Amino acid sequence: MSVTILKCSRLRSVFRLRTLQHHLMSSQAGSEVLFERVGSAGVITLNRSKALNALNLSMIRHLYPQLKNWEKDSETDLVVIKGAGEKAFCAGGDIRAVTEAGKSGDSLAQDFFREEYILNNTIGTYQKPYVALIDGITMGGGVGLSVHGRFRVATEKTLFAMPETAIGLFPDVGGGYFLPRLQGKLGLFLALTGFRLKGRDVQRAGVATHFVESQKLAALEKDLVNLKSPTFDAVGSMLDTYQKQSSLDRDKPFSLTQHLDAINRLFEASSVEGILENLRRDGSAFAQKQAETLCKMSPTSLKITFRQLQTGAALSLQEVLVMEYRLSQACMVGDRTRPCHHAGHNCSGSSVPLFKFSTYRHTHLFSCHGD
């Protein structure tokens, strides 16, 4: 009898502890990121809707340990991550604060990128099903929170882009890993131009694994967290089912289909200068538009990005993130006189003095491996 009483007492203690942990998960992270256990699933909500759920260091410092805890927890079998509000999953990182910190020598410039990339690698190597519901704007840091996970669910509201070359940076958060692994030269095209993909195009490009209509996400999430055995196969099967039930834009072709051959041919050059020359010589409206776009970007950012993807194609995710950390620190003192502001360069010869380096040189300053 005493053993029974002891067991009951322990069960009550465990229940109280888990109830307390459940409340603490939501409170410890403050209001910016929320954690909840639903059944055997851990649910993450990025909760900065007024800032389009932009990622800051505080959020990163709560996301990483919680993901590690859930990965070790035998009672957590699945993780779902989503954004609050109707506009964005996550529109990126707080780059303005980071670049300002970099100019002043504040450690935030090192801490943010280092801890963000560690988080990206954790997601990329996660041992349990990780489902990102990328409903709305998904750029920069938001891509890092989703694209390396096993399952990425786009909707008709999804807007994907890696626009970093327009602000004097480079497509980080593992961009050097996943972008060169897209079909043909599509990843390089997206990286250099910052071209935006919308809706089903995000899946057709290979950025998302599934497409589900936005209005079905609540039901999908409910079914996911109620799975009795949420194995990778079971989660994938459920996502396949919901995708089959989503008919919106099903017959609409990939918006870049007619340009894929041209992208593969024009972006096959061995340098940024060669790509620009190919675009100028081609003469098509599409090629001219891309040439004009590249001429608005930081020349150094374009060359860094080109080398980043070229090198990253043969590296592991972790190796790419180490490379990108080195690049991020170089970018804090490099070709950025006014980071995160509009930047331009006249490719016809005269440069708009918004960047320290206005021609395609100096890439040796940003060695991918620190040599």
Residue 159: beta bridge partners?
A: 137, 198
Which among 94, 116, 172, 335 is annotated as catalytic? 172
Answer yes or no: is pLDDT of 369 > 90.
no
Which among 93, 136, 176, 312 is annotated as catalytic? 93
As a whole-number percent, the residues of the chain with pLDDT over 70 amount to 81
What's the rounded Cα separation, in Å, for the pair 182 and 258?
Answer: 17
For residue range 123-136, list pLDDT tens digits in order: 999 999 999 999 99
- Please tell me the predicted confidence (pLDDT) of residue 104: 73
Reported residue count of the chain is: 371
Which of the four pLDDT bands, split at 50, 70 and 90, describes residue 30?
low
Q: Residue 127, Cβ neighbours under 10 Å: how many?
A: 8
Which among 32, 164, 213, 335 is annotated as catalytic? 164
Residue 2 inside a domain? The answer is no
- Please tell me the predicted confidence (pLDDT) of residue 332: 79
Find where tokens 């490719």 sit.
347
Domain that residue 272 falls in: 31-366
Overall average pLDDT of the 51-71 stretch: 98
Residue 26 inside a domain? The answer is no
Classify residue 155 by its DSSP letter: -
Residue 17 inside a domain? The answer is no
What's the rounded Cα separation, in Å, for the pair 32 and 56?
Answer: 9
Q: Is 141 a residue of the active site?
A: yes
**What are the start-end ranges of the H helices in the chain?**
2-28, 57-72, 95-104, 108-124, 141-144, 175-178, 186-193, 200-204, 217-225, 232-244, 260-266, 272-282, 285-294, 299-312, 317-331
Lowest average pLDDT, out of 5-9, 147-151, 232-236, 277-281, goes to 5-9
Gyration radius from the chain CA atoms = 22
Q: Is 164 a residue of the active site?
A: yes
Answer yes or no: is pLDDT of 357 > 90.
no
Answer yes or no: is pLDDT of 355 > 80.
no
Q: Is 93 a residue of the active site?
A: yes
Residue 33: beta bridge partners?
A: 46
Answer yes or no: is pLDDT of 222 > 70.
yes
Contacts of 336 (CB under 8 A, 6+ apart): 99, 168, 169, 298, 355, 356
Residue 15 inside a domain? The answer is no
Residue-wise over 170-186: b if at least 16 C-beta within 10 A, else e? bbbbbbbbbbbebeebb
Least Cα distance to 45 among 76, 91, 90, 112 occurs for 90
Residue 12 inside a domain? The answer is no
- Please tell me the predicted confidence (pLDDT) of residue 3: 40
What's the rounded Cα separation, in Å, for the pair 205 and 228?
Answer: 32
Number of domains in the chain: 1
For residue range 310-353, list pLDDT tens digits in order: 999 999 999 999 999 999 998 877 554 344 333 333 344 434 43
CATH code for the domain of 184: 3.90.226.10
Higher pLDDT, 10 or 176: 176
Answer yes or no: is pLDDT of 1 > 70.
no
Answer yes or no: is pLDDT of 70 > 80.
yes
Which among 141, 144, 194, 312 is annotated as catalytic? 141
What's the rounded Cα separation, in Å, for the pair 50 and 69?
Answer: 29
Lowest average pLDDT, out of 5-19, 97-111, 123-137, 250-264, goes to 5-19
For residue range 229-246, list pLDDT tens digits in order: 999 999 999 999 999 999
Answer yes or no: is pLDDT of 18 > 60.
no
Residue 6 inside a domain? The answer is no
Answer yes or no: is pLDDT of 227 > 90.
yes
Overall average pLDDT of the 141-168 stretch: 98
Answer yes or no: is pLDDT of 90 > 70.
yes
Q: Is 277 a residue of the active site?
A: no
CB 110 within 8 A of CB 329: yes
Residue 21 inside a domain? The answer is no
Residue 11 inside a domain? The answer is no
